[in-house]
Amino acid sequence: MTSTRRIFLRNGALALAGTTALPAFLTRAVMAATTTATAQGKKLVVIFQRGAADGLNIVVPWREPNYYAMRPTIAIPQNQVLDLDGFFGLHPAMASLQPLYRQGHLAIIHATGSPDGTRSHFDAQDFMESGTPGTKSTRDGWLNRALQAEDLRRRQEHTAFRAVALGSDVPRTLEGKIPVLAISNVQDFAVGGRGPKPAPTATAFEAMYDQSSDSLLHNAGDNSFEAIKMLRATDPAHYTPSPDANYPDSPFAKNMKQIAQLLKANLGLEAAFTDIGGWDTHQNQGSTDGQLANRLRDFSDSIAAFWRDMGPDAESITLVTMSEFGRTAHQNGTGGTDHGHANAMFVLGGNVRGGKVYGKWPGLADHQLNEGRDLAITTDYRQVLGEVVSKTIGANNLEVTFPGAKLNPKQFLGLV
């Protein structure tokens, strides 16, 4: 019974993880009558770039002479940079995001990151996702706490889809008291469980659910029933994106399309999370082409397709991107970059004051580098996220969301 229970409960939250044989009893257990949640308020989408993305080749300081001196073979040539403001420009593989910047929907924050100096992927990601840099004892994630800190005046009756992670596990960012759905494949909710014989796991869970007096287990089961009932009512297997939303053929694009699908289905989604790996470019990083360029093209085209797919509903959405740390200012001996410090974040949305690169630029002169090797941090990433969550999901108690950060709204960048 213990092992069966772990299939459905993980990290203190509900996880419905991409099974292709969804138990028929879950459908039988719900009431026949169903209603669809009405979309209310603003929505937040969080994307984590796992592996430490190279912010200097993503948002290129092409007016910095030392940038080209430090990166003789991997720097982006000035004549191929997608200019933003006469000093910064985007990598040419990110052409799909340049119009969103020009339209004022996309804001960029450069030289941002965690004040903790670790160069460990594991520790840095843990600190970024917990929202408490340098503290390993934090048990929940900043986004779950932000949902807990939601303004009471904005609070509504929540559905099982209030917080969703696209993947098989609840990520560190969303661990905590607020129930979270982890979904690998939205269509699995609709196509499974139609066979004449239920899966053994389904039978075991049904018996356990019926006999158990554990309130946590029953709450998870109730959420399972509600989620499947609501999602199946939207007929997810026949979802068609907007005609101009050309998603790439990649796992990340699939997740972005499924987030759009869930948002457009009006299921009560407030916060969604997904991630994209492949940013650890120690060797053969490339310049305008190659390893980083391929990753950036998938990243940018998927986000742009998501924006177009949402259509008018994009006005109520704010999307934010982050990575655990940046990469060294100097390229290494194998045509790549090593673990660094500051990075670039993106904030996209209908109410975002875009068309600007925010943050104080620290410079790339040798004496301006962090520890003589990295872009220095001038904006704490929690300042960016604090402004985003307070202006979108109404998490105004910033001490709850980011304990110890001492965030002051008067010092926000004015992104939203």
- Give the strand order in the sheet containing 59-61: 59-61, 88-90, 82-83
**Residue 145: what pLDDT?**
98
In angstroms, the CA 150 to CA 174 distance is 14
pLDDT band at 223 (very low <50, low <70, confident <90, very high): low
Question: Apex CA 95: angle with CA 101 and CA 393, to 5°?
Answer: 40
Question: Over 70: is that where the pLDDT of 33 sits?
Answer: no
Question: Over 60: is that where the pLDDT of 69 sits?
Answer: yes
Question: Over 70: is that where the pLDDT of 224 sits?
Answer: no
Question: Over 90: is that where the pLDDT of 330 sits?
Answer: yes
Question: Over 90: is that where the pLDDT of 160 sits?
Answer: no
String of b and e for 354-391 (b: at least 16 CB within 10 Å)? Answer: bbbbbbebbebeeeebbeebbbbbebbbbbbbbbbbbb
Is residue 241 packed enough to be buried (19+ CB in 10 Å), middle (13-18) or exposed (0-12)?
A: middle
Question: Over 70: is that where the pLDDT of 22 sits?
Answer: no
pLDDT band at 371 (very low <50, low <70, confident <90, very high): very high
Tell me if residue 293 falls in helix, strand or coil. helix
**Residue 19: what pLDDT?**
35
**Residue 235: what pLDDT?**
81
pTM attached to this predicted model? 0.85
Beta bridge partners of 49: 276, 323
**Residue 154: what pLDDT?**
58
pLDDT band at 157 (very low <50, low <70, confident <90, very high): confident
**Residue 159: what pLDDT?**
85
Cα-Cα end-to-end distance for the chain: 48
Compute the CA torsion angle 82, 85, 87, 89 (nearest 10 deg).
-20
Question: Over 90: is that where the pLDDT of 256 sits?
Answer: yes
**Residue 231: what pLDDT?**
80
User: For 277-298, what is each residue's pLDDT tens digit?
Assistant: 999 999 999 999 999 999 999 9
**Residue 152: what pLDDT?**
60
What mean pLDDT is predicted for residues 247-275?
96
What mean pLDDT is predicted for residues 79-97?
98
What mean pLDDT is predicted for residues 30-35?
28
Domain spans, the chain: 1-34+188-238, 40-186+253-411
Tokens of 10: 């993980």
**Least confident span in 62-66, 193-197, 269-273, 329-333:** 193-197
**2 vs 317, residue with greater confidence:** 317
In angstroms, the CA 343 to CA 32 distance is 50
Is residue 65 packed enough to be buried (19+ CB in 10 Å), middle (13-18) or exposed (0-12)?
A: exposed
- Percent of the chain past pLDDT 70, that is, above it, reads 79
The CATH-assigned architecture of domain 40-186+253-411 is 3-Layer(aba) Sandwich (3.40)
User: For 302-312, what is each residue's pLDDT tens digit?
Assistant: 999 999 999 99
**Residue 149: what pLDDT?**
94
**Residue 237: what pLDDT?**
82
Question: Over 80: is that where the pLDDT of 32 sits?
Answer: no
**Residue 225: what pLDDT?**
61
